[in-house]
Structure 1
Amino acid sequence: MGKLPAVASDGLFSELIEFGYRCAAEPSLWPEFIEQLVSRSGSRSGRMLVLNPTADEVLDSVKFNIDDAFHRQYVEYYVNLCPWRPELKRKQAGRFYSTYHDFSVPQRDFYHTEFFNDWAGPQDVHHGMLGTIAQSERETVQLLLQRTRQQGAYSPAETDAFNDLIPHLRRILKLGREFTRQRLVDAAALEAAQESPDPFLLLDQSARISYLSSEAQALIEACEPLRIQSQKLEVSGSSGRDLRRLIDSCLNASMGQWAQAGGSLRLSDPAGGSLIVTALPIHPDHPLLALERIGFVALFFHAPGRVPSLCWKTLRDVYGFTPAESSLAIQLVAGETLTAIAEQGGVSLNTIRSHLKSLFRKTGVGRQPELVMHLLSGPALRRSAVTPLKLS
């Protein structure tokens, strides 16, 4: 490959810029964008990295002409041994820098580093151009290009030409974030709709409402303990604290922390009616270079006026539940906690958990909220008509 042609950057990159804006709506095109960038710049290879705010952990990446094993080594270890990275943190974001001309590490010293001897040298990577494209409280986005010894260093004129790309790249990333968020909301809503026919809403990682079905909104408006304030769902009384704990556990689960996986609770009316809310973590697949990791919680509402219950005979005949297991299943669907069920039945919590594991095995699910949703949409569901109830 030769060096960057001596032409105006607008003429050199105009087609590439146009292609870049397609990447905002189609993230799968990013590898091709990096490939074109490498080719047009006379480079050996290139990478775009999405890192954490302190730029010492790679969250996502796209690359061209870098061996998978070497790239994995870089992500897991060498990213923090690159001799230019500490200085890059102190440099102004929104600009590219030549490793040969713009960093204080002399080339001869670079050749004596572990980074060069064990990672860059074996790939014939001698020169680089890199910069922080965008930075926020949640992530840092960097673009890196590499050249071999024969291809030579990136000159100041070449670096200036590449800096004309930065404003476009920042706008592309911003548009991509907006497209991705809407795509994830749509995917999460579809996933939730497939879990249960009950009305539902979606909360994002900030516990803000991202999606609200009209049926769920009507139920919330008819239930005094519930209200929507500034795109957040609020619940008064002790039930509010319980619901917040459920939401927090689901948010952690949806972002990959699986210690808790949601559950159900019952909002009671003084007259004896109830509204059951079931929380379930939803985690749709994130597209390539998703600049924001988004998890969701789906809250399903079982409508007042139709009290859900389960048929003992069907639980026995269809699932093979024992009487103790059937009793546990019915109480879980009614929104009772494991602790409350154990106390009411005068048995240990370990006994209840043993029954729960048996329910999981017999229904083929692995989590408590999935069990509730499975039973509420299965053949054992029996709804008894009662006088329409409005919680107030």
Structure 2
Amino acid sequence: MTTSAIDHDKLSRVIGRLGDAAIDPAAWPAIMDDLCRAAGATGAVLLQADIRTPDVPRTASMDEALQRYFGQSWHVSDPRARGVPRAMSGEVITDEDCVTPDEMRSDPMYNEVLRPFGLQWFAGIGFWAGSASWVLTLQRTSREGAFDMRDTRLLAQLAPRLTETATLSTAIGRVALHSMTNVLDRVRQPALVIDRAGRVLSRNEAADAGFDDEIRIRDRRLVVRDKLAMARIDRLIDAIRFTAEHHALSHEPILIRRMAKPPVALRVLPIDGAARNVFLGARAMLTLSNLVPRLPPEPNLIAQAFDVTPAEARLVSLLASGLSVEQASERLRIARETARNHLKSVFSKTGTHRQVELISLVAQLM
């Protein structure tokens, strides 16, 4: 009686390590390398069953084949996709479940994508990340041989653990995303997170407070009235879609002009850590400077910075928020003449001569 090509002990150790990837998405390639050694395979790839993109975890051994697979759009005509429904029902699928021997010999995908890189046989383990279906694929060379029933029975152990890992990873990633935008919310910095397709995954209250007819979220996408800015945002999304996961995004700020309000500067920040996991697809954080009026510095900070009295500092804080001297005097319940005298005193102490100069100076504390 022959035994499986899979090392059961090594496979068990890999299964025990899957939780590491839930905490640190960067752990996937190393875990998949170990899985290949346990399964007698050359390479492994994580693929979303219904939305396939090149930006997925894989072993380095699959890089060249995947470049051709996605670069020449073979992923849209891969005959092995026929087996995905069976994989999602709990079976571990192999080539024999998807194609006939004649098809394997003649199919262009096998001949132009797999065989040039020495690849021949595959096994697919289906699992779920929320409502999204995923397949972990293992690839063997012709010398390593096909996956048989003994192999698939052992690999079936992976399916429930992969679903657990994906579910936990998604939950941890959402918490991380919320934390990232929430931190910026505390300083009234509007921010939102988008996935590789440009869909908004998360946004903070500061962003919601600033959205209007000129800058808004529609159908889970950022939309702006400024046509030039919108075209640049579309190009940004294209860059995100076609930039590999491990490559840093580099993009100049986008200026969004508005009709009756100051322009907004959109900047792109990277997503790191647990938030950057393949199941969420979070790819970039966008900050929107000047979308909402910034809070003026606290009067205590103004008093310390410029050696002015508490009463003078309270007046300056209100002026920095956009109020006029008359409006500030009413808010403080002091006479307008008193407010003007406070302002003259502050001019003298700060070396400024006009209100606009003073506000510009105070803005450095914001």
Please give the TM-score of this superposition, normalised by the length of structure 2.
0.59
Q: Which amino acid aligns with 1:253?
A: I
Q: Which amino acid aligns with 2:256?
A: G
Partner of 2:266: 280
Post-superposition offset of 1:293: 3.5
CA deviations on 1:308-356 (whole Å, 9 max, x unpaired) are 79xxxxxxxxxxxxxxxxxxxxxxxxxxxxxxxxxxxxxxxxxxxxxxx
**Which aligned pairs between 1:233-382 and structure 2 lie closer than 5 A?**
233=208, 240-244=212-216, 248-249=223-224, 253=233, 256=237, 261-263=255-257, 278=264, 280-285=266-271, 289-294=277-282, 295-298=285-288, 299-303=291-295, 305-307=318-320, 382=358
Partner of 2:140: 147
Higher helix share: 2
Post-superposition offset of 1:297: 4.6
Alpha-carbon distance between aligned partners in 1 of 2:188 and 2:114, rounded to the nearest angstrom: 55
Q: 1:290–1:146: structure 2 CA closer, same or farther, 3 Å change rule? A: closer
Q: 1:279–1:209: structure 2 CA closer, same or farther, 3 Å change rule? A: farther
Alpha-carbon distance between aligned partners in 2 of 1:31 and 1:5, rounded to the nearest angstrom: 19
Partner of 1:47: 45
RMSD: 4.2
Name the SS of the counterpart of 1:291 in structure 2: coil
Does the aligned pair in 1 maintain the 2:268–2:287 contact within 8 Å?
yes
Is 2:86 the partner of 1:91? Answer: yes
Q: 1:31–1:262: structure 2 CA closer, same or farther, 3 Å change rule? A: same
Q: 1:115–1:59: structure 2 CA closer, same or farther, 3 Å change rule? A: closer
**Which aligned pairs between 1:124-203 and structure 2 lie closer than 5 A?**
124-134=118-128, 140-186=133-179, 199-203=188-192
Q: 1:187–1:121: structure 2 CA closer, same or farther, 3 Å change rule? A: same
Partner of 2:115: 121
Q: 1:14–1:70: structure 2 CA closer, same or farther, 3 Å change rule? A: closer
Partner of 1:345: none
Please give the TM-score of this superposition, normalised by the length of structure 1.
0.56
Post-superposition offset of 1:81: 3.5
Alpha-carbon distance between aligned partners in 2 of 1:121 and 1:89, rounded to the nearest angstrom: 22
Q: Which amino acid aligns with 2:171?
A: E
Name the SS of the counterpart of 2:266 in structure 1: strand
Identity among equivalent positions (%) equals 15
Alpha-carbon distance between aligned partners in 2 of 1:40 and 1:171, rounded to the nearest angstrom: 21
Alpha-carbon distance between aligned partners in 2 of 1:264 and 1:382, rounded to the nearest angstrom: 26
Q: Which amino acid aligns with 2:56?
A: S
Does the aligned pair in 1 maintain the 2:177–2:193 contact within 8 Å?
no
- Which structure 1 segments of 5+ residues have no match? 217-231, 268-275, 310-379, 386-392
CA deviations on 1:190-230 (whole Å, 9 max, x unpaired) are 7x69xxx9632434558787445xxx6xxxxxxxxxxxxxx
Partner of 2:303: none
Does the aligned pair in 2 maintain the 1:45–1:64 contact within 8 Å?
yes
CA deviations on 1:52-77 (whole Å, 9 max, x unpaired) are xx34x314222225253322001222
Alpha-carbon distance between aligned partners in 1 of 2:176 and 2:169, rounded to the nearest angstrom: 10
Post-superposition offset of 1:121: 1.4
Partner of 2:337: none
Q: Which amino acid aligns with 1:82?
A: D
Post-superposition offset of 1:99: 2.4
Partner of 1:353: none
Q: Which amino acid aligns with 1:23?
A: A
**Which aligned pairs between 1:194-213 and structure 2 lie closer than 5 A?**
199-204=188-193, 210-211=203-204
